[in-house]
A and B are shown apart, each in its own frame.
Chain A
Amino acid sequence: MRTIPAPTDLTAESLADFLRALPGVDAVGLEARAADLGSRSIKTSSKAWAIDTIIRLIDLTTLEGADTPGKVRTLVAKALVPDAGDLSTPQVAAVCVYGDMVATAVEALGDMHGDPDQGKVSVAAVATAFPSGRASLAIKLADTHEAVLAGADEIDMVIDRGAFLSGDWWTVFQQIVAVKEACRRADGSHAHLKVILETGELVTYDNVRKASWLAMLAGADFIKTSTGKVAPAATLPVTLLMLEAVRDWYAATGQRIGVKPAGGIKTTKDAIKYLVVVAETVGEEWLVPHLFRFGASSLLNDVLLQRQKLASGHYSSADYVTLD
């Protein structure tokens, strides 16, 4: 297994050498493997488990220019009680909002604000001039810091894709290191850092692999596919590729990094495919909120409809879930 350098030992040159030495990705083979895993047939008890797991792993998201405190409070209500008709329905992992909505979300969650692995709901904030990332480092750090001060548990930052594509990997790396530092709270703990690669703009799988490793080397707690504002957003092959990076990182360091596909996952059927890919690539132990998330807004309702179908035996309707 490859030796992993500590972030402080890296230079622009050694980082570039490391990334260039990563094995290539054959797109056809990667997509074939993803399609094969996507053809698993998940039935009965496995499906029931999968549906509840998906709900527990959702970052319920609203990232609109039109977001208001009211909209965010509605989102929080849905996060806490996804299906008022069936109170056995689990809560989602987190709500994901813009930085200026963090305080509203924290307030709305009240006692329920906390670690999803402890049965609470986190607040995640997108930061660093989301979604484009086109701003000075100072602004990105301020953006991050404000969100953390407002009570964000998780920061979803975007990488500088322009710098990445121009070959300036060192700038991308340094910015992640700096944002990670900005996630630090007064008590020394730090908000979890999710690094959005925006794979739809990196385009090639080789770039996605390099960016995944770059982010992990820089201290990412999570690597995330997309902002949801660029098509294609999350895809199964891209997620598989990022999971392979995480798997290899774990083999080399013993440290588990999370993965978050975001954007474009709308149906239970699709989400189950992701669970299969996770289970068969890194193992089921990754299917917990601090290691895997779905960044999604409309997915939850489809999962709830499927959950109702499984419980009742007949197909449900959109009238039986809340349209928030």
Chain B
Amino acid sequence: MSFMDYAPAPESTGILNLNEHYGLFINGEFVAGRGENFTSISPATEAPIATFSTANVADVDVAVSAARAAYDSVWSKMSGADRGKYLFRIARLIQERSRELAVAETLDNGKPIKETRDVDIPLVAAWFFYYAGWADKLDFAGLGANPKSLGVAAQVIPWNFPLLMLAWKIAPALAAGNTVVLKPAETTPLTAMLFAEICQQADLPAGVVNIITGAGETGKSLVNHNDINKIAFTGSTAVGREIARAVAGSNTKLTLELGGKGANIVFDDAALDQAVEGIVSGIFFNQGHVCCAGSRLLVQENIHDEVMDRLKTRLSTLRLGDPLDKNTDIGAINSREQLDRITALSAQGEAEGGERWSPACEIPSKGFWFAPTVFTGVSPSNTIAREEIFGPVLSVMTFRTPAEAITKANNTPYGLSAGIWSEKGSRVLAVADKLRAGVIWANTFNKFDPASPFGGYKESGYGREGGLSGLTAYLEGGAA
């Protein structure tokens, strides 16, 4: 036998106690939606998980009204200390139900259980803990005494980190004293509905958190509603642009966390083994479904071949397969639609002359899968060096000098993240200064923390989530 074909170690789904159908969570209750029900499937097996309601315009209106009423009558009047206690309760409930949430997230999203268990869900709890503590300390947010909350926040989140993105949105909004209406992505609504149950368990006052499901139309109705004070959106630059247009001329505050084409820069004095790990986590973490992914590898020309050799050796040990197996490194692509896009862009990469390589790996017969893929010999003008692929596809380019690396890294309409690998501190700091990106990881990659602001320059959006900036984004006089 081969030891490395570790025997299956699937996380049991027995811990889940799912409903067949989930309604909309409005004013503290699950209610039927007036739109057509839809089914969320597991991308690893294409098996249905549950059906969900679609909120139509009228449902959106009811949800916003509930949030407004809760804001006016309860949440804006409650002491910060009490708001904080509710958030602490939620954080604790998330910790208590963390295994269940991890399994549900993996089932619905297709990402490996080791990520939901070790990254997503612990960060969700951490996010609520961090912002819970802010709720009674708003006077110290740098905006003067008694900063005011904004009112009702409309929040639309993507499918790549479903519950984590929910936490990024809801925790700071509630801490600052706002109420929310949140719409999860239509391919990953499950954990948001489990979160709704957690709100009930925490006795959160009705209407403070409202969660409505549906596709793009539901999201559009929500962000276009005329009684909201804040929009927070994470998703594609195209939709972000539409939202920016929709709020033009209004007082609605806007935080946009959009696409990226992050450069991961490896200098010849880098700690190579760790750099290779950073390249791997930069683009293959969460199947590359990460807006801040290090999807462009810029490697110094004199070490290109050595880095590629090491990278390919390392990629050959990645384990693709059942996301519920605790040893799976690469899970399923979230949807057929996304798989088609990754497939098409990769074909385009080949057509434009990129040299394509993937490790030998068995692709399961059912579900949506894409082998880790590396393109070498990519030119900055190639499609795969410009377009966000949002999949496990790495485009490799070279540079000769630090100045050239910076120029190439910045040569994109995006500006979300970048990585720097060098053992020379002075160079790391100077390069970090010159990179036009909101998050710079030096000798690490894809690290997230509730205390650390996250967000982009240029077409990667505006406003920050996380840290103090993420709090003031929900207060009068704060950023964005």
Establish whether A and B are touching in the complex (CB under 8 Å). Answer: yes
Which A residues lie at the B interface, using CB under 8 A?
1, 23-26, 28-30, 32-33, 39-47, 49-50, 53, 244, 251, 275, 279-280, 284, 287
Chain B window 258-277, contacts with chain A (Cβ cutoff 8 Å), 1 for yes, 0 for no: 00000000000111111001
Nearest-CB residue, chain A, relative to B326: A41
Q: Is B6 a contact partner of A40 (Cβ separation < 8 A)?
A: yes
Q: A-B pairs with the 6 shortest C-beta distances?
A: A29-B274, A41-B9, A41-B326, A26-B271, A24-B423, A26-B274
Chain B window 39-75, contacts with chain A (Cβ cutoff 8 Å), 1 for yes, 0 for no: 0000000000000000000000000000000000000
Q: Is B317 a contact partner of A30 (Cβ separation < 8 A)?
A: no
Q: Does B7 contact A (CB under 8 A)?
A: yes
* Interface residue ranges of B303-360 to A (CB < 8 Å): 306, 309, 317, 326-327
Q: Is A279 a contact partner of B3 (Cβ separation < 8 A)?
A: yes
Q: Is B7 a contact partner of A25 (Cβ separation < 8 A)?
A: no
Q: Is B273 a contact partner of A244 (Cβ separation < 8 A)?
A: yes
Supply 6 further A-B pairs (C-beta < 8 A) apart from A26-B274, A43-B8: A23-B270, A23-B272, A24-B271, A43-B9, A46-B7, A47-B7
User: Given the complex, which residues of B lie within 8 Å of A25, measured CB to CB?
Assistant: 271, 273-274
Q: Is A26 a contact partner of B1 (Cβ separation < 8 A)?
A: no
User: Given the complex, which residues of B lie within 8 Å of A33, measured CB to CB?
Assistant: 273-274, 277
Known A23-B272, A39-B118: A49·B443 in contact at CB below 8 Å: no
User: Given the complex, which residues of B lie within 8 Å of A49, measured CB to CB?
Assistant: 1, 3
Min Cβ gap A70→B in Å is 38
CA distance A280 to B423 in the complex (A): 25
Nearest-CB residue, chain B, relative to A33: B277
Q: Is B3 a contact partner of A284 (Cβ separation < 8 A)?
A: yes
Known A23-B273, A41-B9: A28·B444 in contact at CB below 8 Å: yes
User: Given the complex, which residues of A lie within 8 Å of B443, measured CB to CB?
Assistant: 26, 28-29
Interface of B, secondary structure class, is loop
Q: Is A287 a contact partner of B3 (Cβ separation < 8 A)?
A: yes
B-side interface residues, number (CB < 8 Å)? 27
CA distance A1 to B443 in the complex (A): 22
Min Cβ gap A75→B in Å is 28
Q: Is B274 a contact partner of A30 (Cβ separation < 8 A)?
A: yes
Q: Is B118 a contact partner of A29 (Cβ separation < 8 A)?
A: no
User: Given the complex, which residues of B lie within 8 Å of A46, measured CB to CB?
Assistant: 1, 3, 5-7
User: Given the complex, which residues of B lie within 8 Å of A244, measured CB to CB?
Assistant: 273
Which B residues lie at the A interface, using CB under 8 A?
1-9, 114, 118, 269-274, 277-278, 306, 309, 317, 326-327, 423, 443-444
CA distance A84 to B5 in the complex (A): 31
15 contacts between A and B (CB under 8 A): A23-B270, A25-B273, A26-B423, A26-B443, A28-B274, A29-B273, A39-B114, A39-B326, A42-B6, A42-B7, A45-B1, A275-B3, A280-B317, A284-B3, A287-B3
CA distance A280 to B277 in the complex (A): 13
Q: Is B7 a contact partner of A45 (Cβ separation < 8 A)?
A: yes
Min Cβ gap A13→B in Å is 21
CA distance A280 to B326 in the complex (A): 16
Min Cβ gap B361→A in Å is 15
CA distance A40 to B9 in the complex (A): 9
Min Cβ gap B325→A in Å is 8
CA distance A117 to B417 in the complex (A): 51
Q: Is B9 a contact partner of A280 (Cβ separation < 8 A)?
A: no
User: Given the complex, which residues of B lie within 8 Å of A47, measured CB to CB?
Assistant: 7
CA distance A287 to B2 in the complex (A): 11
Q: Is B6 a contact partner of A43 (Cβ separation < 8 A)?
A: yes
Q: Is B6 a contact partner of A29 (Cβ separation < 8 A)?
A: no
Min Cβ gap B72→A in Å is 47
Most buried by A among B114, B273, B327, B423: B273
Min Cβ gap B425→A in Å is 11
Q: Is B3 a contact partner of A50 (Cβ separation < 8 A)?
A: yes
CA distance A32 to B447 in the complex (A): 12
- Complex partner residue of A24 from B3, B5, B118, B269, CB under 8 angstroms: B269
Min Cβ gap A289→B in Å is 15
User: Given the complex, which residues of A lie within 8 Å of B1, measured CB to CB?
Assistant: 45-46, 49
Q: Is A32 a contact partner of B277 (Cβ separation < 8 A)?
A: yes
Q: Is B7 a contact partner of A29 (Cβ separation < 8 A)?
A: no
User: Given the complex, which residues of B lie within 8 Å of A23, measured CB to CB?
Assistant: 269-273, 423
Min Cβ gap A246→B in Å is 13
Known A44-B7, A287-B3: A29·B270 in contact at CB below 8 Å: no
User: Given the complex, which residues of B lie within 8 Å of A50, measured CB to CB?
Assistant: 3
Q: Is B306 a contact partner of A1 (Cβ separation < 8 A)?
A: yes
User: Given the complex, which residues of B lie within 8 Å of A53, measured CB to CB?
Assistant: 3
Min Cβ gap B130→A in Å is 22
- Complex partner residue of A284 from B2, B114, B272, B326, CB under 8 angstroms: B2
CA distance A50 to B443 in the complex (A): 34
CA distance A49 to B277 in the complex (A): 28
Nearest-CB residue, chain B, relative to A244: B273
User: Given the complex, which residues of A lie within 8 Å of B6, measured CB to CB?
Assistant: 40-43, 46
Most buried by B among A24, A39, A45, A49: A24
CA distance A45 to B309 in the complex (A): 32
Nearest-CB residue, chain A, relative to B280: A33
User: Given the complex, which residues of B lie within 8 Å of A45, measured CB to CB?
Assistant: 1, 7
CA distance A275 to B306 in the complex (A): 26
CA distance A295 to B114 in the complex (A): 31
Q: Is B271 a contact partner of A41 (Cβ separation < 8 A)?
A: no
Min Cβ gap B314→A in Å is 9
Min Cβ gap B448→A in Å is 14
User: Given the complex, which residues of A lie within 8 Å of B277, measured CB to CB?
Assistant: 29, 32-33
Min Cβ gap B80→A in Å is 36
CA distance A254 to B431 in the complex (A): 38
CA distance A128 to B309 in the complex (A): 39
CA distance A251 to B118 in the complex (A): 33
CA distance A238 to B271 in the complex (A): 15
Nearest-CB residue, chain A, relative to B9: A41
Min Cβ gap B118→A in Å is 7
Known A43-B7, A50-B3: A29·B271 in contact at CB below 8 Å: yes
